[in-house]
Amino acid sequence: MRSRLALPIAILTTAALAVSGCTKKNDNDTSSGSTAGAKTYKVAFVPKLQGVPYFEAMNAGGKAAAAALGNVEWLYQGPTQADAAAQADIVRSYIQQKVDTLIVAPNDPDSMAPLLQQANDAGIHVATADTDAPSSVREVFVNQATAEGIGQGLTDALLTAMGGKGKYAIVSCGQTAENLNSWIKVQQAYTKEKYPDATIVDVVYAGEDQAKATQMATDLMNAHPDLTGLVGECTSSAPGVAQAVKDAGKIGKVFTVGLGTPQAMKPYLTDKSSTAAILWDVQNLGYLTAWAGAQIAEGKQFQATNNVSDKLTGVTYDATSKMLLLGPALQITDKNVDQFNY
């Protein structure tokens, strides 16, 4: 679908990552579709937030997987605000509908765990994707990239632009988001270890609100006049911090990076208010999520490496953590942003 670029950050061509359709499939490969008359499985995905480019791209990937597999009915619904209670109501609705597999990107992993237990008790297979609930009964976590890869990628991209030194701040989103918090921990440790002349002065939380992220980034620059870097830790705060730098007329003086979707970040990458976005192929993540939901619904076991489709091969599975790993993160810049249409 789209190229995936390895960390340490390197811009690779799409051709270098394209995998030929002649690759031998493993026993779990169902990419060619199901036979006529096979049972159709209802696989429901509940994102943190519906209507934002990131999760809509996951939805597009899930739809593509359902069409390719042929035996999956892909269901998609999330809250209109990143609210744990609203998300829980949608999860309860899918439990009542008795879907075959329920997959959640939880806003609050701790409060979601009992609901996943409830679904499990009702005979529904449960999983997480994008964001984990590690203390829950989920059968698999579909992970986009390792915390180390994402956290180190963000840090390296920003500190390279900052000349390896200076003060920076992080504008995150949900304060209880497991994935964001794990990345921040990596950034804190990695900055201290590799960049002793750099300091993280603050971490603030804007929810999934881009305008609030812009205001918080502005406040941080005012509170720390010597600030030279900002990180937007999610797909709403990444463009938010870049917009703040642009509004303040500090392009080239305050550098930003973030977890932004390509087309949302394109204007900021073009005008240099953002140096880079660290992400992954979000549509592939959605494809893998739907495929994983079908696998557990059918009672199939994941292999150490899984060939999911002709273009999504070698997906690793760790049986100890029950984690499917999409692959390494990628760096999106003004040079390769047009390779992505979301």
CATH superfamily of 147-279: Response regulator (3.40.50.2300)
| 39-71 per-position pLDDT tens digit | 999 999 999 999 999 999 999 999 999 999 999
List the domain boundaries for the chain. Answer: 14-144+281-327, 147-279
The DSSP string of 41-90 is EEEEEE-SSSSSHHHHHHHHHHHHHHHHHSSEEEEE---SSS-HHHHHHH
Q: How far apart are CA 61 and CA 311, in angstroms?
A: 13
Q: Domain 14-144+281-327: which CATH class? A: alpha beta
- Kind of pairing between the strands at 315-318 and 72-76: unpaired
Mean pLDDT of 203-212: 96
Q: Is the pLDDT of residue 276 over 80?
A: yes
Predicted confidence band of residue 38 (pLDDT cuts 50, 70, 90): confident
Predicted confidence band of residue 311 (pLDDT cuts 50, 70, 90): confident
pLDDT at 69: 97
What single-letter DSSP state applies at residue 309?
A: B
Predicted confidence band of residue 256 (pLDDT cuts 50, 70, 90): very high
